[in-house]
Amino acid sequence: ARPVLGDLSVTSLNPSSMQLQWSVPKDSFDSFMLQYRDAQGQPQALPIDGGSRSVTVPGLSPSRRYRFHLYGLRGGKRIDHVSIDVIVAAEQPEELPLPSEEPQDEKRQTESPASKAPLVQAVLGELRVSSVTPNSAQLQWSVPEGSFDSFTLQYRNAQGQPQALPIDGGSRSVTVLGLSPSRRYRFHLYGLRGRKKIDHVSTEAVTGKGE
């Protein structure tokens, strides 16, 4: 039976990354390949495991239109494909402290005692590696107490350049793409409330060997 790909859709979007998802309504594929051109016009190809139905694409440029092509493969052969056009979110303004975060005088402090009420402390559970390939790693975590508005995953790429991947506050896993084979990476996950880092956990992962 010939496997079929369902629609490719966007499930989350921010200025530097997006998450895409798809379905396979008929049969199955050995693997997938996501192709697109980066901000410099260079072709990018991201291999994806055949059991996956979503992928996070990092390293995008704000307010830019991208065209993504998802191919379903069987035995290295392209069987079906779907495409989608997406415009990345605009860059957020530079982070500046809000006026309410800067106490102006003692009088203002005494007039608003409610502002001193502490929030329930949010806590991050262990960050662990659930799967690795030669060029990707999937990480999972929990939030046993409280909640976060968002997360940021930080690590250094094979060239030693710092990378920061913003993640929605409801997420509990992320797939990091574009890694290099047989390399050790150290990942730091920060839980944020507003723009403030509340808690963080770290882990290390070694990517699989290349072919």
**Burial readout 8-27 (b: 16 or more C-beta within 10 A, e: otherwise):** beeebebbbbbbbebebeee
Regarding pTM above 0.85, the answer is no
What is the per-residue pLDDT for 48? 92
Q: Which two tokens stand for residue 68?
A: 């993504």
What is the per-residue pLDDT for 95? 45
Q: What is the pLDDT along the chain (211 residues), one digit of tens a residue?
A: 789 999 999 888 888 888 999 999 988 999 999 999 988 889 999 999 999 999 999 888 888 889 999 999 998 899 999 999 988 877 655 444 444 444 444 444 444 444 444 456 788 988 999 888 888 888 999 998 888 988 989 998 888 888 888 888 888 888 888 888 888 899 999 998 887 888 889 999 988 887 6
Where do the domains of the chain lie, and which CATH numbers do they carry? Answer: 7-88 (2.60.40.10), 126-207 (2.60.40.10)
CA dist 79 and 29 (Å) reads 8
